[in-house]
Amino acid sequence: MRPNLTTNQGVPVGDNQNSRTAGQRGPTLLEDYHLLEKIAHFDRERIPERVVHARGAGAHGVFKTETSMYPFTRADFLSEEGRETPVFVRFSTVIHSKGSPETLRDPRGFAVKFYTNEGNYDLVGNHLPVFFIRDAMKFPDMVHSLKPSPETNIQDPDRYWDFMSLTPESTNMMTFLFSDYGTPADYRHMEGFGVHTFKWVNAQGNVVYVKYHWKPVQGIKNLTAEEAAEIQKTDFNHATRDLFDSIEKGDYPEWELHVQIMPLDEYDSLDFDPCDPTKTWPEDEYPLQKVGTMTLNKNPENFFAEVEQAAFSPSALVPGIEASEDKLLQGRLFSYPDTQRHRLGPNYMQIPVNCPYAPVRNNQRDGFMQTKQQNSPVNYEPTRHADAPQEVPAFRDSVQPLPSGYITREKIEKPNDFKQAGEKYRSYTKEEQDNLIKNLTDDLQSVHERTKLLAICNFYRADAEYGQRLADSLGIDISAYTAQLSKM
């Protein structure tokens, strides 16, 4: 027998087709509770979309630790070979809204939530190893320049090139983004990076710097601009579809997690700042070490409940993993829980996809949409009550010397904005270089002449051939500037 359709109060509904009216032709009566509740709930179906990374797809899976990282971090889930930790992953594009095509040139988000025995750990990364800027102060401006114009509601290259050309630290990221790596074939065939430097702290309190890399076992595949445009003609969901279908048919995607580890005292010997997110670390000096493998093996049962309401944050850290001094990361630590209280409400951590598997005993109470009230009357600490939760000194944060001795607002000492961008350009194959120049030319074509020139100067300072090729391709004579640029 089919179950009863009910009102919100669980009362059986007698008629779900016709409103209750005065006479057969109406008007409709205010007393029709079922009609009012049905429409009122519908009116509230949408929640604010993420201010960035609105478009995404997610999946559940497991992370298996294959090499114990115990010498470097006390993080419980990384300490034992063979340990399996459940994960939830959300991939995303960054700039456009929730219904936008998945073929656009954009970094892809790669956010992983590990439900560890010692609480949730989120690794909220991207598919490119560096970022546009290095200070959180610049993030809202950067995003504004990339978002659609407030005037036309259309993304405008003149706006973001205006910002980027005056932000020389973006040169490295733009060299990644405008190559075909800026249009990955789908979510299964892309890498992931923590981007920032984090700190690992071991059981003895020793601290090292660490950077994270996810390597797709499926291999890396990118699209040329033409291939992306071809897909976009018929399908703006291709990456979500690919992820869902492959998991549905049991072809589970996998990523190996590797780390680079650096002692804390390398600063003087490097020509860049190890906590600068616009830089990678040279892999010959800081080799990749494999930690384990992640397998995505279960699709969400409900997109809204699990993917839309998922809340990741770089501040969700576990004992043994801490933030570095990175000024971009420091801003992110605040931003994510702040936006999630706005987007999902103050009790967003009680939504099942966000809820830690580890027990939560935090003395926090009440608030909108409270569903997991902790019942003890002793909702404070310290207390004489023997059964009440108490702090655990063994889990105190690491103690470290301050990196510098004064309070200031300053740029970092070693910005080195161009060297790695030049190295990246020279590392590309001939075809990759050709596509990069073509993609940049197509995009820069429409921007203001001064912005074009500034952008070319930045790429020239990264590599003279790179800048010259771009200038030639844009039909701009830079011979008056090259002597001066070569000396910079």
With respect to ligand HEM, which residue has the nearer C-beta, 348 or 460? 348
The 93-122 contact track toward ligand HEM, x by CB under 6 A, reads ----------------x-x-----------
Element housing 29 (H / E): none
With respect to ligand HEM, which residue has the nearer C-beta, 316 or 456? 316
126 near ligand HEM, judged by CB under 6 A: yes
343 near ligand HEM, judged by CB under 6 A: yes
Provide the 8-state DSSP code for 103: T
Q: Which of 75, 259, 310, 316 binds ligand HEM (CB under 6 A)?
A: 310
The 54-93 contact track toward ligand HEM, x by CB under 6 A, reads --x---------------------------------x-x-
| Cβ pair 279, 326 in contact under 8 A | no
Which residue do the tokens 């470290």 mark?
400
Helix (H, G, I), strand (E, B) or coil at 275: coil
| Cβ pair 172, 279 in contact under 8 A | yes
With respect to ligand HEM, which residue has the nearer C-beta, 125 or 467? 125
Closest residue to bound ligand HEM by CB: 109
Return the exposure string of 6-17: e unless at least 16 CB atoms fall within 10 Å of the residue's CB, then b. eeeeeeeeeeee
With respect to ligand HEM, which residue has the nearer C-beta, 159 or 196? 196
Reply yes or no on whether 126 is catalytic: yes
| Cβ pair 70, 203 in contact under 8 A | yes
With respect to ligand HEM, which residue has the nearer C-beta, 223 or 329? 329
HEC secondary structure over 64-80: EECCCCCCCCCCHHHCC
Q: Which of 72, 88, 131, 425 binds ligand HEM (CB under 6 A)?
A: 131
Using the rule CB under 6 A, give the single segment among 175-183, 202-210, 286-294, 331-339 that binds ligand HEM. Answer: 331-339
Reply yes or no on whether 385 is catalytic: no
Q: Which of 332, 424, 452, 461 binds ligand HEM (CB under 6 A)?
A: 332
124 near ligand HEM, judged by CB under 6 A: yes
51 near ligand HEM, judged by CB under 6 A: yes
| Cβ pair 114, 87 in contact under 8 A | yes
Q: Which of 206, 232, 339, 468 binds ligand HEM (CB under 6 A)?
A: 339
Q: Which of 34, 96, 120, 126 is catalytic?
A: 126
| Closest distance to ligand HEM from the beta carbon of 57 (Å) | 9
Using the rule CB under 6 A, give the single segment among 235-243, 332-340, 358-366, 453-461 that binds ligand HEM. Answer: 332-340
- The residue among 102, 130, 282 whose CA lies nearest residue 188 is 102
By the 10 Å C-beta count (0-12 exposed, 13-18 middle, 19+ buried), 36 is classed as middle
Strands 119-126 and 254-263: unpaired
130 near ligand HEM, judged by CB under 6 A: no
For residue 356, say if its preceding peptide bond is cis, omega within 30 degrees of 0: no
With respect to ligand HEM, which residue has the nearer C-beta, 342 or 448? 342
Element housing 119 (H / E): strand 119-126
- Which residues in the 239-278 window bind ligand HEM by CB under 6 A? 277
Please list the alpha-helical segments (H only) found in 171-320. Answer: 171-177, 225-234, 238-248
| Cβ pair 329, 277 in contact under 8 A | yes
211 near ligand HEM, judged by CB under 6 A: no
Q: Which of 34, 53, 127, 258 is catalytic?
A: 53
Q: Which of 312, 418, 425, 459 binds ligand HEM (CB under 6 A)?
A: 312
- The residue among 239, 148, 127, 235 whose CA lies nearest residue 185 is 239
Q: How far apart are CA 359 and CA 107, in angstroms?
A: 35
Enumerate binding residues for ligand HEM (CB under 6 A). Answer: 50-53, 56, 90, 92, 109, 111, 124-126, 131, 136, 139, 195, 277, 310-312, 328, 331-332, 335-336, 339-340, 343
Catalytic residue positions?
53, 126
